Chains A and B, each alone.
Chain A
């Protein structure tokens, strides 16, 4: 029986463990395409673990185990046919702390496409320009592409990391508290950028900050102690949380 694919990323009955410790418990949800989904929840509830399970970055951790299914464009990403490298190309990731490589701005953006077989500078240069423009960084760095990336300001570094993630054309973008280590002005810029990017990308963003989640996201998830308590349109959750724990979190009583 064929079922039409409804979403780029679908999660069915996902549970994960680090050693004996259960972190995520029976999570099922569908992330809307071309929208921002915010994952909220108190510290330690498993938000980062959830993101890192979606691009299989937890595979590196020896005692990590998972059960359940995550589908990317209908394919099980933990299935026997799955190609983890191609999967990670399709699911970009931006981390909490800006982590540009210690090389030039240009080389940072070229790194991804080179990995995936683009060798020719005539092809790479337009990718660099396009990615930096998309990340709203081009105008600030176009005259210094060969400067070392770590010399940029924190906010610029984070936009460079976004450009680096976009350089391999991933349909999905994971962001783990992308602005929490930045000053308010840089944070604002990146928030605006995220709203801009959702036209073309499916974005899943972890955030601690309820107000930010309400400003930026279309869908929101509330995780509590590894359980998915609520998952719905952001507006609905903001106006009338269905669960009292969600309400307690968004009014600031827990978290």
Chain B
């Protein structure tokens, strides 16, 4: 009897949670339907690059591409750095320093994204324009690289990816550190007792055992990265063009919604197309979550941890 009541009480929030997700999905789908059904739109808008509501062109591929590039850049920077930092924290750092470093990491995670954006706009963007771009373009070692070509005002995918990486870093560090520390010390001892160094043990045993947890953290941070708005909006230049190099500006999905929703009511299809962008965004987040779950399952299974 008691149990039934308890079950029911817990069922309510669980049900409310899933109902909310379904409700949001339905709402987005409902708002996006017009553009997916209209002759000017259709499902092919996700691969069409030209966005010009005045000419009834509603291709959203540019935004998807921009988001992908910024996210990819962010992950490529944040993941190796973050895992490296986590390995240092969990395996090599003296306990006293560790506590304060962990506190700094957690504080970094709590900074609002507008603050990161402001800093990037005031400091990083001018730095890319005045120092970074001239430096790589004049250095014969890097000047030939196709991804460093073109003139820039600093507002670029590089700026967007970097600020995203900085914002993701604390999460990647904290989650990876937790995953590494939950690896039983009996594995470490077994490895050391076979004559492994501390480094070999950290890399070949501890990281390998923590991969499911770390991997899940990465995939979930992918979701956060594509959905991040303010900071990216401020530094990517919001320009309707395909970014061919790291120094080119881009337009990401969250930015187009934020920038245009205010006056998109002019044409119903315009408004609907923005909801289509949001719908794609949500689908991406959902699939990242599902992939993360699969990944953990697979990792646990191949390691015999379930």
Interface residues of A (CB under 8 A from B): 55, 57, 60, 85-89, 92-93, 95, 97, 99, 101-103, 111-112, 115-116, 147-151, 161, 164-165, 168
Interface members, chain B 180-199 (any A CB < 8 Å): 184, 186-187, 189-197
Beta-carbon contact of B196 and A150 below 8 Å: no
B98 on the A face (CB < 8 A): no
Residues of chain B at the chain A interface (Cβ within 8 Å): 184, 186-187, 189-197, 200, 204-205, 208-209, 301-305
A115 with B303: in contact, given A99-B189, A161-B190 (CB under 8 Å)?
no
User: Quick check: A85 and B195 within 8 Å, CB to CB?
Assistant: yes
Give the distance in Å from the alpha carbon of A103 to the alpha carbon of B200 in the complex.
Answer: 16
A/B pair count, beta carbons within 8 Å:
71
Q: How far is the CB of A75 from chain B (nearest CB, A)?
A: 16
CB-CB nearest in chain A for B303: A102
CB atoms of A149 and B304 under 8 A apart: yes
Determine whether the beta carbon of A115 is less than 8 Å from that of B200. yes
Interface contact A92-B193, CB-CB below 8 Å: yes
Chain A, interface SS category? helix
Across-interface contacts of B204 in A (CB, < 8 A): 111
> Contact between B304 and A164 (Cβ–Cβ < 8 Å)?
no
**Contact yes or no, A88 B192, CB < 8 A:** yes
List, in ascending order, chain A residues with CB within 8 A of B304's CB.
102, 147-151
Q: Which of A95, A115, A151 contacts B189 (CB 8 A)?
A: A95
Report the minimum CB–CB distance from B297 to chain A (whole Å): 13
- Taking A111-B204, A148-B305 as known contacts, 4 extra A-B pairs with beta carbons closer than 8 A to each other, sorted by chain A number, are A55-B193, A88-B192, A92-B193, A99-B184
Which of B186, B195, B208 is in CB contact (< 8 Å) with A103? B208
| List of A residues within 8 angstroms of B200 by Cβ | 115
- Alpha-carbon gap, A88 to B195, bound state (A): 5
Please measure, in the bound complex, the distance between the C-alpha atom of A161 and the C-alpha atom of B200, giving whole angstroms. Answer: 19
Determine how close the nearest CB of chain A comes to the CB of B199; give it in whole angstroms: 11
Nearest 4 interchain pairs by C-beta: A148-B304, A150-B304, A102-B303, A89-B195
Contacts of B192 in A (CB 8 A): 57, 60, 88
**Which residue of A has the minimal Cβ distance to B211?**
A102
CB contact between B190 and one of A85, A101, A148 (< 8 Å): that residue: A101
